[in-house]
Each structure stands twice: as C-alpha cells, then as structure tokens.
Amino acid sequence: MRRLALFLAALWWGGISGLSFLAVPTLFAQLGSPAVAGPVAARLFSLQCYAGLLIGMALLVLLRRERGAAVEHGATPTPEDLARAQQVLATMGFVLLGMMLALVQEFGVAHQIVTARASGGNLRLWHGLGSVLVFGQWLCAGAILWRLSRETQR
C-alpha cells in the first residue's frame, strides 16, 4: 500500500508539473492566440483538478488505513507508533489542502476566468488567483510526495 500511495503522489505532482510548466506554455506558444489556447488550457486544468480530487481521495483511503495500522485498537501504541500516526495525519492534511485548492480553482476561479474573458472583467486578477491555486496544489502534491518518499526509505 505504501508504494501505491507513493505512486499516486508522484502521479499527482507530475501531472501538475507537466501540465503547468510544459503543456500549457507550449500550447500558448504554438497556437499563438490566447483566444484559441485559453479554452484548451482551461479544459486541461479542469481535467487535472478532477484527477487531483480522485488521486486525493485514493490517498486519503490509503493513508487512513496506514494510520489505523499504526495505532491499532485494543493494543497499546508505542511512542514510535504514535509519532508515525501523527506523520500520516500531517500528510493527510496536505492531501486535504491540495484537494480544497483544486475545488476552489475548479468551481470558483475557473468560472470567473471564463466570465471575465467574455464580459471584459478583471481577467488578470482571476488568472493570477487561478495560477496561485495551481501552484498551491503543486506544492501540496510535492510535500505529499516528499513525505511519502522519505517515509518509504525507512
């Protein structure tokens, strides 16, 4: 289960990395027009948000099982077990934060970007906020990957 969690974290972080730092900039460079590239990029980010939510849910299930194994019911946990359970709980916090950022991006900011583009609203503000949310997801996924890879080495 530990390797599956590590694989999922790598998939989440790698997906955001590839999309944000390679695919979308290439899309805008090759298509030339933001009016053409924008909707395609928006769809890619939407798909990444849903992928992040699914991966996050799977990670929460795996991490919850691991936390339960660290502190079994009926057994007296050792200080190492309690420390392990706290580490897993902190990792779960990063998962939840990354998922929350994806939800805000998908159901709050993405709509505002489309609306601002169509109505002449403050596109720069909403695009900047969307970028911050994607960067936050990338940081959370990176923290999860870092924590899980460090714990796997033990």
| pLDDT tens-digit map of 46-97 | 999 999 999 999 999 999 988 777 667 557 778 887 888 889 999 999 999 9
Domain containing 144 equals 2-152
Q: How confident is the model at residue 119 (pLDDT cuts 50, 70, 90)?
A: confident
| Nearest residue to 123 via CA among 7, 38, 60 | 38
CA distances for 65 relative to 10, 69, 92, 147, angstroms: 19, 6, 11, 17
Say how many domains are in the chain: 1
Which structure tokens are listed for 6?
């590590």
Q: At what angle do helices 123-152 and 2-18 cross, to 10 degrees?
A: 150
Q: Which amino acid is at 145?
A: L
pLDDT of residue 83: 83
Helix (H) or strand (E) holding 28: helix 24-31
